[in-house]
Amino acid sequence: MKLCIFEDNEYYKFEPLVFNRPVFDLRLGSFSLREIIAKKMNFDTYSLWCRDSLKDTLLYQNTAIKINKFEDDDYLFINARINPYSDLLNNLTSEVERDIIFTNNEVILGAYLTRNFVKKNFQKPASFNKELFQSLPSKNLEIDYFTYLWDLIYKNDLAISQDYEIFFNQTSTNQEIRENKSLYFLDRDSTLIAKSAKLGLNVVLDSSNGPVIIDDNANVMHNVVIYGPCYIGKNSLVKSNSTIYGGTTIGNFCKVAGEVSNSIFMDYSNKQHDGFLGHSYLGSWVNLGAGTITSNLKNNYSKIQVELSFGKVQTDLQFLGLLIGDHSKSAIGTRFNTSTVVGFSSNIFGSGFTEKFIPSFAWGSIDSKDVYQLDKAVNVAKIVYARRNTEFSEKDYKLFLNVFNETVSIREKYGYK
């Protein structure tokens, strides 16, 4: 039996991070969703199933993984929206002799499908919906799953806490750093520091409420305070005098400063200056200019409503900050209101608070509503990639072009012309 991790038809609810990536490539805790699903299910290898529009990009990024293609074998399919830390996850392997789907509240959590069913139904693009499986028996499982991007923010602290066991078994802790007299530990035993990590003077690591995990080649500069649960990714930098609160994941190759709480950074994103960021989710290649501040709480303490491209969603949340897509940037002094959503490759500037919904390829948004032209956005991306010794490929250009074309109607809806 082989494993396939898929995204279903509800992927769009995770905007603005899914214009250019499938749901299973979103980060939760210390890993992407697909990485932690495979670890929890004890599979060393797996295949992926996604929207056909993203297939070429995934093939380019994952040359060793089968994308929308299967071998002649039985398959266990797992929905990328499933909570991989659920205690009931192993129940998905309880039926291994017949075709069957696993559901919860009409959501297809997964399926066990024999090779004959796979061969018959997945030779061409298909969607994981009930019509495809209407002839199959189903089993209801009370397994938690994610519906919106902010669900990941609110599960992040527990995810990091459980990731500690994985790192404890795989990572050699830097004993020299842990014995450094200039470091201050609260619950030293729940702190993991990779051998190649660097920590400056007067760094405080407080793991009393959850582990602090500092991965390979991360650099934590002088006078930094980090509260767990927190994960600092490979080759990332936390600058001096920063305070990183619990529930925060900083991905690989990020640069972070100021005050950060309950937030998730995808790889290669920067917040290099002072300013508060709380209960937020940042895509890759995001840059928040100096003095950018994010509100995560309404002045009247009421429940938060989020505006997405397909409509407004009333949540039961009191705290939610910025949801910002890949390649988007803010100018110095930008002020983001509570639960602001920014699309892919937007350039935000102007005085006062931004709009609460900013579409992809927006230019301005406060004093003007112009379109960030594709050629200019691509030129900036090429420069940014080169600064990180990364090549901007033809596949990257096609991805920009696809997102630009797919979001035209959204820009027009919000008056960007």
> Does pLDDT of 173 surpass 70?
no
Cα separation, 176 vs 189, in Å, equals 14
Residue 304: which of 280, 271, 339 has the closest Cα? 339
Give pLDDT, residue 172.
55
How many percent of the chain have pLDDT more than 90? 75
| 47, pLDDT greater than 80 | yes
The CA distance from 261 to 120, in Å, is: 48
Q: At 208, is the pLDDT very low, low, confident or very high (cuts 50, 70, 90)?
A: very high
CATH of domain 2-147: 3.90.550.10
Put simply, whether the predicted model's pTM sits higher than 0.85 gets the answer yes
Instruction: Decide: 85 and 155 in contact? Cβ < 8 Å.
Output: yes
Average pLDDT, the chain: 92
> DSSP labels for 134-202?
TTS-EEE----B--SHHHHHHHHHHHHHHHHHHHHHH--B-HHHHT-TT-EEESGGGEEEBTT-EE-TT
Average pLDDT for 214-226: 96
Q: With a cut of 70, say whether residue 149 has pLDDT above it.
A: yes
- pLDDT one-digit tens code per residue, 364-380: 877 788 999 999 999 99
Is the pLDDT reported for residue 46 higher than 90? Answer: yes
Whether 312 has a pLDDT exceeding 90, the answer reads yes
Rounded Cα distance, 194 and 171, in Å: 7
The whole-number average pLDDT for the span 237-255 is 98
DSSP line for 210-228 = S-EEE-TT-EE-TT-EEES
Burial of residue 375 (CB within 10 Å: 0-12, 13-18, 19+) is exposed
Report the top-level CATH class of 283-417: mainly beta
pLDDT band at 182 (very low <50, low <70, confident <90, very high): confident
Cα–Cα distance, 342 to 319 (Å, whole number)? 17
Angle CA(367)–CA(370)–CA(374) in degrees, nearest 5?
Answer: 145
Task: Decide if pLDDT at 61 tops 80.
Answer: yes
Amino acid at 335: R
Q: What is the mean pLDDT of residues 305-330?
A: 97
Contact criterion met (CB below 8 Å) for 255 and 221: no
With contact defined as beta carbons under 8 Å apart, do 314 and 271 qualify? no
Q: Is the pLDDT of residue 135 over 90?
A: no
* Closest by CA position to 45, among listed 65, 21, 60, 71: 65
Half-sphere exposure of 137 (CA within 13 A, CB side): 7
Question: Span 150-265: which CATH code?
Answer: 2.160.10
Is the pLDDT at 179 greater than 90, yes or no?
Answer: no
Cβ–Cβ < 8 Å for 65, 47 = yes
CA 119 to chain centre: 32
Enter the tokens of residue 240.
């001096």
- Contact predicate 97/74, CB 8 Å: no
Residue with tokens 């509100």: 295
Query: 379 Cβ partners below 8 Å, 6+ apart?
Result: none
Q: Cα(194)–Cα(215) distance, rounded to whole angstroms? A: 5
Q: Same CATH topology for 150-265 and 283-417?
A: yes
Using left for φ > 0, alpha for ψ between -120 and 50, and beta otherwise, residue 262 falls in: left
Spans of all domains in the chain: 2-147, 150-265, 283-417
